[in-house]
Amino acid sequence: MEDIEDTRYEAVRSRDARFDGTFFFAVTTTGIYCRPSCPAVTPKRHNVRFHPTAAAAQQAGFRACRRCRPDTTPGSAEWNVRADAVARAMRLIADGVVDREGVAGLAGRLGYSTRQIQRQLTAEVGAGPVALARAQRAHTARVLLRTTSLPITEIAFASGFASVRQFNDTIRAIYAATPTDLRAAPPAVRRPATSARSRPGTPTAPGGGARAARAASAEGTGIPSAGIPLRLAHRGPHQSTALFDVLAAEAIPGVEELSGPRGRRTYRRTLRLPYGTGIAEVDERPGTGGRDRSAPAPGRPGGWLDARLHLTDPRDLTTAVQRLRRLFDLDADPYAVDERLGADERLAPLVAARPGLRSPGAADPEEFAIRALAGPAEAARLVQTYGKALDAPHGTLTHLFPEPAALADADTRGPLRALATALADGAVRLDVGADRDEAEAALLALPGMDPRTVAEIRTRALGDPDVAPPDTPLPDAWRPWRSYALRHLHPASRSTG
């Protein structure tokens, strides 16, 4: 334990951003906690305490550093790699399940008692599900305070707090400031200029009737007409052009679109969310270096993708952000991936040419599974025939992808109907807390599901970083990053999703 903490202190002393999000350190003399790369003066070793999560530091009574903003770090890549109950719980909490369904709902999804979940999370990450959800609510509230003019009372409930008093107490405890103080501080995110992605006269909020009409204008709503601006942080280099190429090849008309020249594209898509609907916009960043302020800089590896969210209900902010993070693989650890794969003679030149290559996920796992089975042409037909139309088009975006229940009841047949029915009735679970092995077995048991399609679903919809297609032997030395290895080996390949 002492050796581990000494290693962590060396990371803090060298301000090594590669460890941002993997652990946090707190300073007993100041009462604050920071990310490892915090630019402040390095505290003395005997005044430092280490915590596995921001929630653990907060639960120990420490406040977030205003300088390094540790709550904005990328998530730990460990939770995407692992498939045990703790990792599945962390993914579900990040998706907002505790806010929507409570701890009992979280435990039920995992097949454990609430006491077991509390004990396992506390033992491993230093905080239980309530504390982890509380930390996430506080971050969501800070984003809304800094990027919208929504009334503070509305922000409190939109962030998942049960009362305004609880909201005020939490913000003071974590940020040592009142909600009004946070709002008055200089904005952390620059609002995007009007461009092709925020065209005059184009509605900016999908669906929702009267709510959509109100959200389409900044007047009286508090939500920027250009959407809620975000910086989606990532660790290390991010080959966004390669990932945008995949999205461009897969885009389904009406649900997705890409605009702009290669290297500066904007990806836009519709989202079905727990409380409403949304439009997500994410900007491509060329390369991994240069003068782009969002690319990694010397001594500060990491960067961000600029994004905007148009939501009919701000309570969906947390869930929408997590879906984008999974789609763009933003919580990955490219240092660990590149170190392992770069040691292989076959992969070394490929890794050197494209450091930080990501394995794209899915914005909607059930949607991706249906698209992977149906193929692009049939998926486009399903959208136009069974997809729910937005109340008002948002540029070329006109529909939500059809829900499995709608396809199960529609005039579909064969494997597609079997898959839609299994997803609709819960026989197959593909949510972020699903057991990957159980999901794969359930998919393979469906008529007409071939192993290669199931492998693609496991890679993209379930976010498994270590999938090898059937009849494709890959070296064990590439584990647990075989999904990334395949991206290097087949850069031009496209999935059916």
Model pTM score: 0.85
> Residue 32: beta bridge partners?
27, 63
267, HSE (Cβ side, Cα atoms, 13 Å):
26
SS (H, E, C) the chain: CHHHHHHHHHHHHCCCHHHECCEEEEECCCCEEECCCCCCCCCCHHHEEEECCHHHHHHCCCEECCCCCHHHCCCCCHHHHCCCHHHHHHHHHHCCHHHHHHHHHHHHHHCCCHHHHHHHHHHHHCCCHHHHHHHHHHHHHHHHHHHCCCCHHHHHHHCCCCCHHHHHHHHHHHHCCCHHHHHHCCCCCCCCCCCHHHCCCCCCCCCCCHHHHHHCCCCCCCCCCCCEEEEEEECCCCCHHHHHHHHHHHCCCCCEEEECCCCCCEEEEEEECCCCEEEEEEECCCCCCCCCCCCCECCECCEEEEEEEEECCHHHHHHHHHHHHHHCCCCCCHHHHHHHHHCCCCCHHHHHHCCCCCCCCCCCHHHHHHHHHHCHHHHHHHHHHHCEEEEEEECCEEEECCCHHHHHCCCCCHHHHHHHHHHHHCCCCCCCCCCHHHHHHHHHCCCCCCHHHHHHHHHHCCCCCCCCCCCCCCCHHHCCCHHHHHHHHCCCCCCCC
The distance from CA 249 to its chain's CA centroid, rounded to whole angstroms, is 21
Omega before residue 480 within 30° of 0, cis: yes
Mean pLDDT of all residues belonging to the chain: 87
Looking at residue 193, its pLDDT comes to: 33
What are the tens digits of pLDDT across the range 262-291? 999 999 999 999 999 999 999 998 754 334
pLDDT tens-digit profile of 432-486? 999 999 999 999 999 999 999 999 999 999 999 999 988 888 999 999 999 999 9
Sign (positive or negative) of CA dihedral 140, 276, 106, 22: negative
- Check: CB of residue 489 under 8 Å from CB of residue 353: no
Distances, alpha carbon 287 to alpha carbons 33, 179, 290, 336, 343, in Å: 32, 38, 8, 20, 23
Residue 218 has pLDDT above 50, yes or no: no
Question: How many residues in total does the chain contain?
Answer: 497
Place of tokens 């933003």: 330
Rounded CA-CA distance 199/192 in Å is 12
pLDDT one-digit tens code per residue, 58-70: 999 999 998 898 9
- Grade residue 313 by pLDDT with cuts at 50, 70 and 90: very high
Q: What is the CA radius of gyration of the chain?
A: 22
CA distance 358 to 329: 6
Higher-confidence position of 409 and 403:
403
Check pLDDT > 80 for residue 189.
Answer: no
For position 224, what pLDDT does the model report?
A: 64
Per-residue pLDDT at 200? 31
One-letter amino acid identity for 489? L
What CA–CA distance (Å, rounded) separates 289 from 293?
Answer: 9
pLDDT over threshold 60, residue 205: no
Backbone dihedral angles phi then psi of residue 89, each to the nearest 5 degrees: -65, -40
State pLDDT tens for residues 107-139.
999 999 999 999 999 999 999 999 999 999 999
Tokens of 163: 């009362």
The more confident residue out of 471 and 183 is 183
Note the pLDDT of residue 187: 55
Residue 338 has pLDDT above 70, yes or no: yes
pLDDT attached to residue 222: 63
CB contact at 8 A, 242 and 486? no
Bridge pairing between strands 63-64 and 32-34: parallel
pLDDT category of residue 185 using cuts at 50, 70 and 90: confident
- The yes-or-no verdict on residue 495 having pLDDT over 70 is no
Mean pLDDT of 416-426: 96
Q: Under a CB-based contact definition with an 8 Å cutoff, are residues 174 and 138 in contact?
A: yes
191-200, 248-257, 298-307: the lowest-pLDDT one? 191-200
259-268 core/surface letters (b: 16 or more CB in 10 A; e: else): eeeeeebbbb
Percentage with pLDDT > 90 across the chain: 74
First to last CA, the chain: 44
223 CB burial (10 A radius; 0-12, 13-18, 19+): buried
pLDDT at 462: 96
Question: Does residue 296 surpass a pLDDT of 70?
Answer: no
pLDDT digits (tens, 9 = 90+) for 12-57: 999 988 889 899 999 999 999 999 999 999 999 999 999 999 999 9
The first and second tokens of residue 173, run together, are 């405890």
Average pLDDT over residues 74-84: 85
The pLDDT tens digits for 4-22 are: 889 999 999 999 888 898 9
Q: What mean pLDDT do residues 316-332 have?
A: 95
Structure tokens belonging to residue 438:
């159980």
